[in-house]
Amino acid sequence: MTQAHQAPSPLATVIRVTSGNFLEMFDFFLYGFYATYIASTFFPSGNEYVSLMATFVAFGAGFLMRPLGAVVLGGVIDRIGRRKGLILTLLIMSCGTILIAFVPGYATIGIFAPILVVLGRLLQGFSAGVELGGVSVYLAEMAPPGRKGFYVSWQSASQQAAIMAAAALGFALNRALSPAEVGEWGWRIPFFIGCMIIPIVFVIRRHLQETEEFKARKHRPAFREILHSIAANWRLVVLGMMLVVMTTVSFYLITVYAPTFGKSVLKLSAADSLLATFCIGLSNFIWLPVMGALSDRIGRWPLLVTFTVLPILTAHPVLSWLVNDTTFAHMLEAELWLSFMYASYNGATVVALTEIMPAHVRTVGFSLAYSLATAVFGGFTPVISTWLIQATGDKAAPGYWMAAAAACGLIAALALYRPWRGSRVEATAA
């Protein structure tokens, strides 16, 4: 065996491990952007608002499976290894993706259509419960000393690449097809393309090598030991969940919900909404590794505190400015500001979460904290934002939701790091 084979390049390793993240977010974004078409196809009713709410509830249902996936699949990965576990999660995720892509509409199979769509979302949620955690832990364990923040940030950056790819594809379809054609059948094309990506991702990921840190571990905990350790460290899980609330709410607000917000609330064209979302993905893709690297140099907590205070102060005012003077340029400016705050915070958050969890249950602890935050808060951001606007009459009301999420992150960051006493997490990690 050659030395080159024994030590693949860092770039190749990052691409291999994050390929599943790309597929997951590609499908999630498509669901958010084509929510109005999915609503009319699978959840038809005489009321557009009711159909859209049902669609977003189905979207959020997948997130309710994430904590279960985090515990079950996270325990598997902590026991059998990062490589084998990530291949397993990809298999389950693929089943959900294929199911959603090929389910006939309500007009063809009746009530079975929404049931099968929800089943597909549940499968995706179960696998996604550990996909992000497994990838983040893998990147943290293979990163050179002092560069964990930079390497782990590529987990989130891969999701932004998926958003850009999906937005560009959607933009091309809107140019090539009429609105009626997109609504009838064209919206399925990106989902079919997602299915075609699946075999490529399997080929890429099967060449992953196990991390040296995991191979060096002498004891592989049984599932009962994992549950006992998680129970003993429940405070860390809760604080980790609170830390993630800001990043998951802001992410789904500026990416998955943004196209629907642009079309349904701001009354911008579908093309404008897609173009703005593409720019948001590009902004996130740039800022995430930059801020991950910055967190390696100055520490995690300065970024965590700064970029929770800023959303508390500016999220609602920025959206108010946008809805009071709606143009494509203003939507882009507002979204880019929210993107900067999200990416700056997330660049420090994900790596911090890998550092606060005990090594022997790092995957399940990370995944459970992240999944709880997503299931309870982030995953329901589209439906909560839709409800807030309807209930308050304030089109900028989603800004309050982001500010509340930032407040959770600020409390958790201060509790975990306690900068006035020295950094508890960094001291532990050292």
pLDDT digits (tens, 9 = 90+) for 178-232: 888 887 888 888 888 888 888 888 887 777 776 666 666 666 667 777 778 778 8
Is 406 a domain residue?
A: yes
**86/227 Cα distance (integer angstroms):** 20
> Which of 60-74, 117-131, 300-314 is most confident?
300-314
Q: 164's torsion region: left (phi>0), alpha (psi -120 to 50) or beta?
A: alpha
Is 215 a domain residue?
A: no
Per-residue pLDDT at 125: 82
How is residue 220 annotated by DSSP?
-
Is 132 a domain residue?
A: yes
The CATH code of the domain that includes 418 is: 1.20.1250.20
Domain ranges, residue 130: 3-208+220-429
**206/204 Cα distance (integer angstroms):** 6
Per-residue pLDDT at 4: 43
Per-residue pLDDT at 217: 66
Token pair recorded at residue 396: 């900028």
Residue 75 confidence class, pLDDT cut points 50, 70, 90: confident
- Cβ-contact 165, 173 below 8 angstroms: no
Per-residue pLDDT at 323: 92
User: How many domains would you assign to the chain?
Assistant: 1
Is 213 a domain residue?
A: no
Q: Give burial (CB, 10 Å; 0-12/13-18/19+) of 212.
A: exposed
Q: Which residues contact 302 (CB under 8 A, 6 or more apart)?
A: none
- Cβ-contact 216, 378 below 8 angstroms: no
The overall longest dimension of the chain from CA atoms, in Å, is 66
* Mean pLDDT across the chain: 83
pLDDT, tens only, 292-327:
999 999 999 999 999 999 999 999 999 999 999 989
pLDDT, tens only, 339-348:
999 999 999 9
Per-residue pLDDT at 400: 95
Is 391 a domain residue?
A: yes
> Average pLDDT, stretch 79-86?
73
Is 61 a domain residue?
A: yes
Token pair recorded at residue 274: 């897609």
Per-residue pLDDT at 427: 36
Is 214 a domain residue?
A: no
- Helices 82-102 and 10-33 sit at what angle, rounded to 10 degrees? 30
